[in-house]
Amino acid sequence: MFEELKSRPADSLLALIKAFQADERSGKIDLGVGVYRDGMGRTPVMRAVKAAEQFLLETQDSKKYLGPEGDLQYVRLLQPIIFGKAPSFAPRLVGIQTPGGSGALRLGAELIQAANPSAKVLLGKPSWPNHAPIFGAARLAVKEYAFVDLVSQQVKFDSVIEALSAASAGDVVLLHGCCHNPTGIDFTEEQWLEITKLVVAHKLVPFIDLAYQGLGDGLEQDAAPTRMILEAVDEALIAYSCDKNFGLYRERVGALYVMTRTSDEIGKAESNMAALARVNWSMPPDHGAAIVRTVLENTELSAMWRAELAEMCERVNGNRAALAAAAPDLAFISRQRGLFSNLSMSKDIAVALRARHGIYMADSGRMNLAGMQPADAGAIVAALRAEGCL
Ligand code: PMP
């Protein structure tokens, strides 16, 4: 039967990693794959994570099954970090552990499919390339609209308003909670307010993807739009990832939270989430969530984690400032947040930047600002100028 399969294209970002490794030039710069890098270009295991792993190694006395919901103490301890201390909607909120933010998105998509298969998912483009395929895999119709104009680096807010206004009651709006991937362009507070009004007026369901909390302006600031919209709406889904803000990537640490209309509906949502998890991965992998739980249960480790996350955030924003200072036409980069910025360029230019200058970014023009050092700003700007991008 397998002869019937059609080959699929390889992931272009993975090919970029290989090409970068094979490049022997000393001044090469890797702005490709979306992971945090420190001042030495490494993606380190965070100090609090190492300490928590040590603690787990010494104290964990069983690896028996936990169940499809995973580690519920982990799910609970994350709640105040994401939603604030005592939000009004807390009694209508239920969460389960998932394999990464990707697992949370897939589980949320399947929950929507189970509850309202005719719901459309509104997706602003460009977005994380896995968003549309995940919703498609759950057999939901995805309706795309233009979110950003890359030439002006501005939100196309008219297009956002138009898309939300044309949606039907029960349709789902995918929103990046902070640190938009791939553009780094987040809605302003006024725009979030406007979106909230539209979501309420048209009875839409926000599905918030929060994969970079703490890497934009700080944990509290990055959660503010999510909290604001949740205070206003009846129902919502939140796909959370600890893979970036705890540096746990391959451990696959996420959670799906669902906010129901009334607290009576929580049990239904919870049992469906567990049943869907059971047929997908049965139970989520434990180690990463156990690390996060251990960090959050311990005041000292929590403080250590928060401090290191703040350092990471500062470093990325420092790189943004360095690029903006090196070229006035890149000033927008210092106003954007998170790991990414997406320059408007053709694939040919992205290829030329690699071949002629050793500067690696995705063919789409997406660059990971954590991949550079402030001292690289001059070389990056010179290469962009040489290729006619500036
Ligand atoms: N959402 C967005 C916007 C992302 O960028 C990513 C990861 N690149 C994810 C979700 C998924 O994260 P995870 O690795 O935890 O599955």
pLDDT of residue 9: 87
Respond yes or no on whether ipTM tops 0.90. yes
Cα separation of 132 and 114, whole Å? Answer: 18
Burial level of 243, CB count in 10 A (0-12/13-18/19+)? buried
Architecture of domain 65-297: 3-Layer(aba) Sandwich (3.40)
Do residues 318 and 333 make contact, with C-beta atoms less than 8 angstroms apart?
no
* C-alpha 269 to ligand 1 mean position (Å): 23
DSSP 218: -
pLDDT of residue 166: 98
**In angstroms, how far is the first alpha carbon of the chain from the final one?**
51
* C-alpha 304 to ligand 1 mean position (Å): 24
pLDDT of residue 13: 84
pLDDT of residue 11: 82
Q: What is the pLDDT of residues 162-208, one digit of tens each?
A: 999 999 999 999 999 999 999 999 999 999 999 999 999 999 999 99
**Low-confidence stretches of the chain (pLDDT beneath 50):** none
Instruction: Match 């540096």 to its residue by tokens.
Output: 247
Domain boundaries defined on the chain: 10-45+301-386, 65-297
* pTM of the entire predicted model: 0.98
- Count the residues in the chain: 390
Cα separation of 328 and 299, whole Å? Answer: 43
Q: What's 10-45+301-386's CATH class?
A: alpha beta
Pocket test for ligand 1, best of 35, 130, 135 (most atoms within 8 A of CB): 130
Residues with CB under 6 A from ligand 1: 34, 100-102, 128, 176, 181, 209, 211, 241, 243, 254
CA torsion sign for 244, 247, 248, 253 is negative
Pocket test for ligand 1, best of 213, 243, 249, 253 (most atoms within 8 A of CB): 243
- What are the DSSP calls for 119-140, one per residue? -EEEEEES--TTHHHHHHHTT-
* C-alpha 327 to ligand 1 mean position (Å): 30
**Assigned token pair, 17:** 């990693």
pLDDT of residue 356: 97
pLDDT of residue 260: 98
| Residues 76/79/81/85 CA torsion (nearest 10 deg) | -110
Cα separation of 194 and 198, whole Å? Answer: 6
